[in-house]
A and B are shown apart, each in its own frame.
Chain A
């Protein structure tokens, strides 16, 4: 079923450029970031939009890669460039610190971009649509491989089937330490609870590491 939740594309202004920028307070001293990843149509932009204090913005990055394994857009030789859209939002956490949320496809073929984006990230939220979980395997595998702290966020569409957690964990082949969270990404409160649970998990993990 197609729902508003499945729309990956943000509405664009007629000019193609967003409206007036909303500046950060001049007291802000730095920013941190969290990535929101998952296959196309899983609801990354919806989640970013529910959390962001600004209307989500879209930017693009061009990526050069060997054309094996990616769609060859040019048909010219063994290198090709592809353009990847990133939708992102912002939360000013306190007068000194801002949090950016970047929605980004995490599949293997976007690896060059991913490596750049993930540097310095606090962690990643990997969204999963249980009606098509197989589309998430690639992303989940890469997150584990790269040892980026992450949680799985099941986007609960109205017709999402529900499974017991152990069944879900085994179906998605997740390590025991990876939290499985649920939220309707269209709902601000649920999205905030998801983000808070994720950062709480990161915080606890870092405390455990300190204890060694």
Chain B
């Protein structure tokens, strides 16, 4: 991995995503019906690598690991692609609507079955 400063050249100096809700565990995939991307030239090489990688579902963390980019950079780039409609991002598990007890029970049941 390159030094701490250089990766932000890829994002045009931005260190924050336009999408504050993007988390390290957010799940991303390229949109099935890829829109006609306007101003295609606006996408840099790393944007395109993300689109290629995410033909199926992966987390932000996995995208960062597989592309060798810092997490913050991937969040910015995925935010760009999301704004363009080029990727879909699944909403976070709705902890407010779903009682945590119910969610924790689902996790517990899953783990016990896998044990």
Residues of A within 8 A of B (CB): 16-18, 21, 23-26, 28-33, 57-62, 81-83, 86, 88, 90-91, 93-94, 97-100, 102, 116-117, 119-120, 122, 189, 192-193, 195-196, 199-200, 202-203, 206-207, 210
B27 x A30 contact (CB < 8 A): yes
In the complex, how many angstroms separate the beta carbon of B17 from the nearest chain A beta carbon?
12
B90 x A193 contact (CB < 8 A): no
Contact indicator per residue, chain B 13-46, by CB within 8 Å of chain A (1) or not (0): 0000000000111110100000000000000000
Query: In whole angstroms, what is the CA distance A47 to B93 when docked?
Result: 24
In the complex, how many angstroms separate the beta carbon of A120 from the nearest chain B beta carbon?
6
Residues of B within 8 A of A (CB): 1, 4-5, 7, 23-27, 29, 53, 56-59, 61-62, 64-68, 70-72, 90-95, 99-101, 103-112, 114-115
In the complex, how many angstroms separate the beta carbon of A75 from the nearest chain B beta carbon?
14
Interface of A is mostly: mixed
30 A-B contact pairs sorted by A residue (CB < 8 Å): A23-B57, A23-B58, A25-B57, A28-B27, A30-B93, A31-B25, A31-B93, A33-B24, A57-B61, A57-B66, A59-B61, A60-B71, A61-B72, A62-B72, A86-B61, A86-B71, A93-B109, A94-B106, A94-B109, A94-B110, A98-B59, A99-B110, A122-B107, A192-B115, A193-B115, A196-B112, A199-B108, A203-B101, A203-B105, A210-B101
Partner of A97, one of B24, B66, B93, B112: B93
Which chain A residue has the least Cβ–Cβ distance from B91?
Answer: A30
Given the known inter-chain contacts A18-B66, A60-B70, A122-B107, please indicate yes or no for A189 contacting B93, CB distance below 8 A.
Answer: no
Partner of B58, one of A24, A122, A192, A196: A24
